[in-house]
Amino acid sequence: MEIIPVVPRGYCQGVVRAIQIARDTAKSNPDTPITMLGMIVHNRYVVDACSVLGIRCLEDPMKTRLELLDKVNEGIVIFTAHGVSDSVKEKAQKKGLKIVDATCPDVMKTHQLVLEHCKTGGDVVYIGKLHHPEAEGVVSLNEQIHLVSDEADVCSLSPSLTNVLITCQTTLSMLSMKRLLVLCTERFPDARIAPEVCNATAVRQQAVMNLKNIDVLIVVGDPHSNNSNQLQNIALNVGIPHAWLIEGTWELKENMIKGYDRIAVTSGSSTPTAITSQVIDFLKQYADDGIWCPPETLSVPVI
Ligand code: SF4
């Protein structure tokens, strides 16, 4: 059995930056209540590690960032790597909160792109995931921005949209983004196209697409992590027979890999390096000695 770590994988610059900002904020403000507006990145072990530093995480998938702010009444609020709209910033300012913005520069670039286009009076068709915080942050910027998450959304776009810009969420699957992009351009053939899948997402997905003769791909990542889910989907789409998304070694099962020759391992850009390394080390050990005894819990610090 051969274990093949996929390169590149794991943490991207935007995630490293967001975690560093959270750590610095906690260190510099030991006596101030600090709240993260949502998961700083989509990995619960990173969120747990932040809570050990004294940072409270407010997360409710049924609530928008604007609604979550109702529960923050003092201290510092950290905006996550996914970004927020101006209305969230204004509300936080009105409440007298100190803002720490950990929005990824790539997401900010998308914000600037769509806002500049809106200033021209044009409409924006934004391909993104419904209820994802990044998509929520972009779509809330201006009512001229229209979210499409699937084919039905594309069909329901008003034909009266003018001067259309088509763009997308940074962490989408390149394959599914291209499929929706084709449908959008059929609806608006004169539209300007600006794909915004970030480089970190693109190179991690491309590395999976480039794999040859792989029997199983193990993706290490949180089930809420969009880019981890996309890595699994892409693997299945490009013909890798088996692709599993696991949070860590403790979710590995022997039947996922037993009897297969070539096992590749990758991880989403929000997955701590230590967790992925633990998975790779365990698989290499199993490949060497065939003994199955995965640890039941996380045994390494993640930030
Ligand atoms: S995946 Fe891309 S957009 Fe998201 S934090 Fe990383 S670099 Fe930024």
| Domain stop point among 152, 174, 197 | 197
User: Do residue 151 and residue 116 come from a single domain?
Assistant: yes
Residue 152, pLDDT score = 98
| C-alpha closest to that of 10 among 210, 232, 214, 219 | 219
Q: Which residues, in sequence order, are CB contacts of 114 under 8 Å at separation 6+?
A: 124, 126, 138, 141, 142, 145, 165, 167
Last residue of a domain, one of 103, 134, 168: 103
Residues 258, 266 contacting (CB under 8 angstroms): no
Are 254 and 185 contained in the same domain?
A: no
CB environment 41-53: b (16+ within 10 A), e (fewer): bbbbbbbebbeee
The CATH number covering residue 208 comes to 3.40.1010.20
Whether 218 maps to a domain, the answer reads yes
The domain of 57 spans 13-103
Ligand 1 neighbour 196 (Cβ under 6 A): no
Closest ligand 1 atom to residue 81 Cα is 5
Number of domains in the chain: 3
State whether 18 and 69 are in the same domain: yes
Residue 296 lies in a domain: no
Contact of 280 with 219, CB cutoff 8 Å: no
Is residue 134 part of the annotated active site? The answer reads: yes
Q: What are phi and psi of 187, to 5 degrees?
A: -75, -35
Phi, psi dihedrals of residue 9, rounded to the nearest 5°: -150, 165
| Catalytic one of 67, 134, 196, 296 | 134
Looking at residue 121, what DSSP letter applies?
T
Q: Is the CB of 106 under 6 A from ligand 1?
A: yes
Find out whether the beta carbon of 280 lies less than 6 Å from any atom of ligand 1.
no
pLDDT of the chain, 303 residues: tens digit per residue: 999 999 999 999 999 999 999 999 999 999 999 999 999 889 999 999 999 999 999 999 899 999 999 999 999 999 999 999 999 999 999 999 999 999 999 999 999 999 999 999 999 999 999 999 999 999 999 999 999 999 999 999 999 999 999 999 999 999 989 999 999 999 999 999 999 999 999 999 999 999 999 999 999 999 989 889 999 999 999 999 999 999 999 999 999 999 999 999 999 999 999 999 999 999 999 999 999 988 777 776 787
pTM over 0.75: yes
**43, two tokens:** 């990995």
Q: How far apart are CA 21 and CA 9, in angstroms?
A: 22
For ligand 1, atom 2, which residue shows the shortest CA distance?
Answer: 198
